[in-house]
Amino acid sequence: MKNGHPLAKHRSRIDMPEKPREQLVTLLNSSLATALDLATQCKQAHWNVAGMEFYQLHLLFDKAAGEIGEAVDLLAERVLQLGGTALGTARIAAERSLLDEYPQQIVSGKQHVEALTERMATFANHLRQAIRTSDTLGDPTTADIYTEISRTADKTLWMLEAHLRS
């Protein structure tokens, strides 16, 4: 495998067979791309929200972007721990993200909350599946990392959904 390829081998003494390790690196890089995309979409909402709830939503969206940014580091570092190459450029994220493109014409708080709620739900659901996959592949450490990220994503999803309740 060539350097720069998601499965490029780096020295790791983690006692895991090669095939599950490669599958986990692929999964983690998919999560990394999606998390990077989600963080930038949260910032898009943060920068462009307007209306009566501006300040509250401006802070909420910025906090969400920061929390997703922490997840980005956890995911990328786990890729390296498993001997892979973290693929985390903006171009790679745009190409590989599981999220829909963020609607650029919206400005109202409710529209931004709806858009981010949809995308956060996609990410949160992906994380739960990744927990199961990591367990199936015999890697409780990666499953634990996904669980940690999932707790934060679910909390953020709950906060976003609360804004949509009447």
Residue 4 domain flag = no
pLDDT score of 27 more than 80: yes
Environment class of 98 (CB within 10 Å of its CB; exposed 0-12, middle 13-18, buried 19+): middle
Q: What's the rounded Cα separation, in Å, for the pair 108 and 90?
A: 26
**How many domains, the chain?**
1
For 53-62, what is each residue's pLDDT tens digit?
A: 999 999 999 9
Backbone torsion region of residue 138, taken as left when φ is above 0, otherwise alpha when ψ lies between -120 and 50, otherwise beta = left
Residue 3 domain flag = no
Domain that holds residue 157: 18-164
pLDDT at 107: 86
Residue 48 domain flag = yes
Residue 10 domain flag = no
pLDDT score of 112 more than 50: yes
Environment class of 13 (CB within 10 Å of its CB; exposed 0-12, middle 13-18, buried 19+): exposed
Contacts of 159 (CB under 8 A, 6+ apart): 60
For 55-110, what is each residue's pLDDT tens digit?
A: 999 999 999 999 999 999 999 999 999 999 999 999 999 999 999 999 999 989 99
Residue 24 domain flag = yes
Q: Chain-wide mean pLDDT for the chain? A: 94
What is the CATH number for 97? Answer: 1.20.1260.10
Contacts of 40 (CB under 8 A, 6+ apart): 65, 90, 93
Residue 80 domain flag = yes
pTM over 0.85: yes
**Which tops the pLDDT comparison, 88 or 166?**
88
**Which tops the pLDDT comparison, 14 or 35?**
35
Cβ contact 12:82 at 8 Å? yes
Residue 67 domain flag = yes
pLDDT at 2: 37
Question: What does the radius of gyration of the chain's CA atoms come to, in whole angstroms?
Answer: 17
Instruction: Using alpha carbons, select from 44, 114, 38 the residue that is nearest to residue 69.
Output: 38
Residue 57 domain flag = yes
